[in-house]
Amino acid sequence: MLSWLKRIASNQLRFPGKASPLVKAADQFRDKGDFARAAEKYAAALESYPDRHDLRVQLGNMLKDSGRFDDAEASYRQAIQAQPDNLDARIQLGRVYILRADDASAQAYFLDVVDNLGDLSSIGSQSLRDLTGELWHVADRLRDAGSFKAAEPIYRAISKIAPTEDAAILQHGNMLKDIGEFEKAIDA
């Protein structure tokens, strides 16, 4: 009986849902676009529910949307440390690099994410679409800046995640051609 009560109490702490007025207030501020106040409420909620990693990601989102990139990065890193397979936190951290216009870090970071994805069938389609969208953003920025060698592995990664995206295959081949890898470009 005691272990059953402990499980119930533990689940209520980890998944308070609508029961938490702080989370509800944070969600309302977020929905109104008041990201700074939403961040304050999510941070307060995390004091009561430190194992709610979804709240830590939301806190990071609000900090990012408030322009507090260093704080957002720290929040995402904490969520990733607690849940290494949290793809949403990983995508959001990559977005911080993009918003900072740190293309080299974004490129390296997203390539690491792709290299460590594991079995793609176990990842939700929305998460894969989000990741692919961010990869496109980084690859296109690098390509437009003339950094073809840096863009090439990103387009290759998109082709790995979404093998039916002909545009990614084409861009990958173009990048190989532009860096002088003609034989590889033909095979791509």
Instruction: Report, in angstroms and rounded to the nearest whole number, the Rg of the chain calculated over CA atoms.
Output: 20
3 state SS of 14: helix
Tens digit of each residue's pLDDT (9 = 90 or more) over 56-75: 999 999 999 999 999 999 99
Q: Superfamily assignment of 8-100 in CATH?
A: Tetratricopeptide repeat domain (1.25.40.10)
Amino acid 8: pLDDT? 35
Measured CA to CA, the distance from residue 79 to residue 110 in angstroms comes to 17
Measured CA to CA, the distance from residue 176 to residue 181 in angstroms comes to 5
Residues of the chain within CATH 1.25.40.10 domain(s) are 8-100, 103-188
Which band of pLDDT confidence, cut at 50, 70 and 90, is reported for residue 85?
confident
Residue with tokens 């194992």: 51
Of residues 101 and 8, the one with the higher pLDDT is 101
Residues belonging to the chain: 188
Residue (of 76, 155, 68, 146) closest to 114 by Cα position: 155
Which band of pLDDT confidence, cut at 50, 70 and 90, is reported for residue 103?
confident
Query: Alpha helix locations (H) across the chain?
Result: 2-14, 21-32, 35-48, 53-65, 69-82, 87-99, 103-115, 125-144, 148-161, 166-178, 182-187
146-151 long-range contacts, CB within 8 A, separation 24+: 147/103, 148/175, 148/178, 148/179, 149/175, 149/179, 150/103, 150/104, 150/107, 151/175
Amino acid 87: pLDDT? 87
Question: Would the pTM count as exceeding 0.95?
Answer: no
Amino acid 164: pLDDT? 86
Amino acid 77: pLDDT? 95
- Say which DSSP state 67 is in: T
Residue with tokens 């920025």: 141
Residue (of 62, 50, 57, 69) closest to 25 by Cα position: 62
Token representation of residue 137: 């953003």
Task: List the CATH code of the domain at 103-188.
Answer: 1.25.40.10
Tens digit of each residue's pLDDT (9 = 90 or more) over 3-61: 333 333 444 444 544 448 889 999 999 999 999 999 999 999 999 889 899 999 999 99
Tens digit of each residue's pLDDT (9 = 90 or more) over 111-146: 888 887 777 777 778 888 888 888 898 899 889 989
Token representation of residue 126: 């929305």
Amino acid 13: pLDDT? 47
**Helix 53-65 and helix 69-82, axial crossing angle in degrees, nearest 10:** 160
